[in-house]
A = this chain, B = another copy of it.
Amino acid sequence: MDYKTVTQQVDAVIEASLDGWIDQLARLVAQPSISAQGVGMTECAELVATMLREQDFEAEVMPTEMYPVVYGEGNGRSSRTLLFYLHYDVQPPEPLDLWESPPFTLTRRGDHLFGRGITDDKGHIICRLAALAAVRQVLGELPCRVKFIIEGEEEIGSPRMPAFVAQHKEKLAADACIWEFGSVDHDGRPTQSLGMRGICYVELSVKTAEIDAHSGLGGSIFPNAAWRLVWALNSLKDENERIRIPGFYDNVQPPTTRDLELLDNLPDDSAKLKEMFGLAGYVRGLTGGLEWKKAAVFEPTCTICGLESGYQGPGPKTVLPATARAKVDFRLVPDQTPEEVLTKLRAYLDAQGFTDVEITFLGGGRPARVDPDDPFVRLANETAVEVYGKEPVIEPIIGGSGPNYPFIHELGLPLVSAGIGYPGGRAHAPNENIRIPDLINGIRHTARIILRFGGITP
């Protein structure tokens, strides 16, 4: 059978089996798996393993210090191996009153399917299984070997993934990897995300006394934890957004000419985002265009995610706080590392006299990117054109973070995105949803990547 016949038959199987896969998705959504709250995690890992076995894959639930990783594998015609990275954990469903249907009951309204995790990431688990099943049904076997690594801590920062990958390097050995997500943009164009910024998330805390004091008593003589924190934070970044930690920018690699070319081809979302978030404007006078796009993803950040000290209720309370805390998130670009940020941050705070500011590391991961001209990336882009009828939007790196570093640099894999998302999907928010046509296209795209990777090419 030639490529065209195979893909036509695969598409037909996908169409015919869709309702069955939506039922499978409903089954998966119905099992809560909230990593942040420790709800249903083992049960969901077992369910995912069962679903892999029902598709004739070998599956094992591998314990970690926290939530298990589901590992799966299956043989195919060639010995080339395609790895699927996915996760079975979901964000907490709260606030519950904003859901229009119960979060853990898949609910169809028109062309939309609603439920917690339906796009992030349970829908993608089903997308991969449906694509593999369709390909196998048409070919009688898979055209390549496949492996699955489906973790349970992605929504809490994948803290154990780098060590897990390093520990199971041989078991996870593969030739290419399909990442956990993929989506179309506002114009229905598929997106191809080639990298992610790293992250170093810390809590800065100060304690200046055992108990709060009355501000009339201590105001001019007691150290104040809130002031210490404000001064320490102020020392980290100036009002022009320049991070003041010495050496912070040392390992920043500027975008290449190829990166800038890709950025330039991206749609300019500056006006859309400004409106969506109700911003008066962007920092540093950025107004859109290439400079704005570069700033958005090719620069490291130092973001205060939270501040807490003293009295926060209504009206006045004359208290001098004994403790103060800030959550601070550094986004890192290649080749920065969370380890160097921690070291440089500590040294700088000490040098500035802020030895009283404690740093607690809450999670991190390195930035990592795939070569935009890798053959596997080209394969993913070509198959995207087949399915979507549009050239993909290629993002050389995105602003967010994820555990792609060990896959790219430890396992040496090219990573591509392919999937079922769209901009209205409300991942992490109430009424998380997908559109059925996107689900179908995501399965078709995944199937074509499997086919071509397995040597069935036009």
Contacts and interface: CB of A to CB of B under 8 A. Distances in A.
A301 B219 contact: yes
Interface stretch (A58-66, A126-134, A317-325, A418-426): A317-325
A281 B223 CA distance: 8
Contacts of A283: 220-223
Copies of this chain in its oligomeric complex: 2
A329 B321 contact: no
A353 interface: yes
A16 interface: no
B226 A307 contact: yes
A219 B277 CA distance: 13
Interface string A23-64: 000000000000010000000000000000000000000000
Interface string A217-245: 11111111011011101100101010000
A312 B237 CA distance: 21
B331 A295 contact: no
Contacts of A224: 303-304
A280 interface: yes
A311 B318 contact: no
Interface stretch (A169-177, A260-268, A372-380, A395-403): A395-403
Nearest to A353: B239
A75 interface: no
Given A221-B282, A223-B279, A331-B215, A230 B315 contact: no
A424 B234 CA distance: 39
A297 B400 CA distance: 50
Contact of A318 (B199, B273, B279): B199
B329 A219 contact: yes
Contacts of A324: 307
B399 A220 contact: yes
Nearest to A284: B221
A216 interface: yes
A1 interface: no
B306 A310 contact: yes
A356 B400 CA distance: 28
A220 B297 CA distance: 8
B279 A208 contact: yes
Given A216-B331, A231-B239, A317-B327, 12 more contacts: A156-B315, A209-B277, A210-B277, A217-B273, A218-B399, A221-B292, A222-B283, A223-B279, A224-B304, A306-B321, A311-B327, A316-B329
7 contacts: A209-B277, A216-B399, A304-B310, A306-B312, A308-B308, A310-B327, A312-B325
- Top 8 A-B residue pairs of the complex, sorted by shortest distance between their CB atoms: A210-B278, A216-B400, A219-B301, A226-B304, A306-B310, A234-B234, A306-B311, A307-B309
